Structures are given as structure tokens and as C-alpha cells.
Amino acid sequence: MFQTDKKFHYSEFSDKPRVMVLQPFDQLEVIMSTNNGYLLLETDANEGNRLYNNRQGEKITYMIRQDSIVKIPTVGEIKLGGMTKDSAEAILEQELAKYYQAPFVKITVTNRNVILFFDEGTKGNKIAIPEGGITLMEAIADAGGLTESSKSYKIKLIRGNNKNPEVYNFNIRSLEEFKKANFMLETNDIVYVDSRPKYATKFVKEISPYLTLITCITMVYSIFR
């Protein structure tokens, strides 16, 4: 799984943080409030706009369409895809200022995940990316850590378009290379931890049906002998 030849050219590591932007199909949890957050303005699809205090407010989720547009009550259709979260909050506050006094907007992306595979792809974990982001090491720790057969010197990170992805290789066995493990993960990143072949386990698995057959034949023979 995700095998590469010896001459494969891995992407160059960079510790410069990349700007995270909102993307199509991101699910946005939007909290809109007035008076700089004193009263929470929530919208119900059936009942229209309603005011709640902060303790009574509900969280409403919207999805960015494929064309980067989001439809939000009061504001209407607005393009948020391609913007940073801070920029999106600012433009929504600007639009809401036409209707409400001192609006305040808080956006949280709720469906950003990374996927990790261990033990030749037989074990997989989906890890949610928290609001403050997550590093490679944090994601591995959240998934339960490396297994006994994991190759700590051969951890692949696959990012971007499946047709032409960026592929990074991390070696956390080396202290110098370990510093790169603070690499921040992005939505839909795939982390594949290579594993040592389990030849003994595979051999036993292959011959197990034949051993079972021989055992059954031996039992039948002993009964009717």
C-alpha cells in the first residue's frame, strides 16, 4: 500500500506554515451575535431570525458549495471559499452590519480530518483536526502511537490532488529528523506508517486451511480405522 521505488523523489520539507483557507464542502459552524457578542443571533430555517442570549444559543452548520458559495440567512449567498477563516468572519460581520448593531461572527470548520494507516494498511484511523491545528506527531499519538511493526524511519505524508500528490517522507527515529515531525497537517492529508513484513504471520495464515484439512482427515481416519 502506497509503495514507492528507491528512486522516488519526495517533496521538500518546509517549516514555513501554509495559510489555511476555506474550501468547497467544508462544513461551517457559524455563530452570529449582535452587540459584539452580547446577544446571540441564530437563524431557524422555519421560523426566521430569533434572538437568544449566549447560554440559550444553538449552533448552525452550513456547507460551502462546490462553487465556493455559502447560503446564509439574512446575508444570502456569499463566496467564502478561498478565504481564510478570519477574512470570512470579517466579511460576514460587514454584511450583517447592514442589519444589526455591532455584529460578531465566529466560524468553526467541523469536518476537517486526516487519515492514518498502520500495519500495511490493515489498521486505519480518522483524526479530527482541532481549531488550533494538529501536527504529525500529535495525530500519530491520537491514533494510539506506533505499533511494534511500524517503521519509525519511513512515515509517508500524502497531500493534495490524488493524480499528482505531494509525498513527504519523515524519519522520526533520528533526533534531527524528529524536529520535522512538528509539521502541521492539513485537511484530507493521508499519513501512512510503513511496517516490517510479518512473514511468520502470513505463512501461518496461508497454511492454516491445509492444517485444518489434515487435522480433519486424521480424525476421520482414526474414527473409522
Residue that is last in its domain, among 93, 109, 125:
109
Domain count, the chain: 2
For 133-151, what is each residue's pLDDT tens digit? 898 889 999 998 888 888 8
Which residues form the domain of 200?
Answer: 1-14+112-225
Domain presence at residue 119: yes
Residues 102 and 212 in one domain: no
Residues 9 and 57 in one domain: no
pLDDT at site 197: 67
Residue 48 vs residue 114, higher pLDDT: 114
- CATH number of the domain residue 98 falls in: 3.30.1950.10
pLDDT at site 203: 52
Asked whether residue 179 carries a pLDDT value surpassing 60, the answer given is: yes
Q: Across residues 97-101, what is the average pLDDT? A: 89
Residues 210 and 119 in one domain: yes
DSSP secondary structure, the chain, as one string: -----TT--PPPP--SPPPP---TT-EEEEEEEEGGGTEEEEEETTTEEEEEETTTPPPEEEE--TTSEEEETTTEEEE-TTS-HHHHHHHHHHHHTTTSSS-EEEEEE---EEEEEEGGGTEEEEEEPPTT--BHHHHHHHTT---TTEEEEEEEEEES-TTS-EEEEE-TTSHHHHGGGGPBP-TT-EEEEEE---HHHHHHHHHHHHHHHHHHHHHHHHHH-
Confidence of residue 53 (pLDDT cuts 50, 70, 90): very low
Chain-wide mean pLDDT for the chain?
Answer: 80
pLDDT at site 107: 92
Domain presence at residue 21: no
